[in-house]
């Protein structure tokens, strides 16, 4: 069975600080990897995805993630956060098409 672990439940940063959110997954086969973000009161939206190819993936709003197969990790990074990045971030994996397995989410609070 697939599982996803997000290490941090709540992260608090000052504006301009660098961000790294951890995500580890367990699955025996080929996976697709995703990061979704949910801004307060809004829908879940896709930040970035990895299917194959270059393991460093760039997404929207300056986010990127690196797939490290040997570590089963897909950490999300941003060099300099803004107050508007305050949101909840979800890592997800699928190995079987439509059935996404999500982590528990990480709440990010950015202090101006």
Partner 1 sequence: NAGVMQNPRHLVRRRGQEARLRCSPMKGHSHVYWYRQLPEEGLKFMVYLQKENIIDESGMPKERFSAEFPKEGPSILRIQQVVRGDSAAYFCASSPPAANVLTFGAGSRLTVL
- What are the residues facing 24 on neighbouring strands? 5, 73
Q: Which is nearer to partner 1, 19 or 47 (CB)?
A: 47
Closest separation in Å from C-beta 72 to partner 1: 17
Q: Which is nearer to partner 1, 85 or 105 (CB)?
A: 105
Q: Which is nearer to partner 1, 17 or 38 (CB)?
A: 38
Q: Alpha-carbon distance 55 to 70, whole Å?
A: 12
Closest separation in Å from C-beta 79 to partner 1: 26
- Does residue 49 contact residue 67 with C-beta atoms inside 8 Å? no
Q: Where does residue 59 fall: left (phi above 0), alpha (psi -120 to 50 degrees), or beta otherwise?
A: beta
Q: Residues in the site for partner 1, rule: CB under 8 A? A: 4, 6, 32, 34, 36, 41-46, 49, 51, 90, 92, 94, 97-105
Closest separation in Å from C-beta 48 to partner 1: 11
| Residue indicated by tokens 């270059």 | 54
Mapped onto helix, strand or coil, the DSSP state of residue 86 is: coil
Closest separation in Å from C-beta 103 to partner 1: 5
């Amino acid at each position: 069975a697939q599982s996803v672990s997000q290490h941090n439940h709540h992260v608090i940063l000052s504006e301009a600080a660098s961000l790294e959110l951890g995500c580890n997954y367990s699955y025996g086969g080929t996976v697709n990897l995703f990061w979704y973000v949910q801004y307060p009161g809004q829908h879940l939206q896709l930040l970035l995805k990895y299917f194959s190819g270059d393991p460093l993936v760039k997404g929207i709003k300056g986010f990127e993630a690196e797939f490290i197969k040997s570590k089963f990790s897909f950490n999300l990074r941003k060099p300099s956060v803004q107050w508007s990045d305050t949101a909840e971030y979800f890592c997800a994996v699928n190995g079987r098409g439509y059935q996404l397995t999500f982590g528990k989410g990480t709440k990010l609070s950015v202090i101006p």
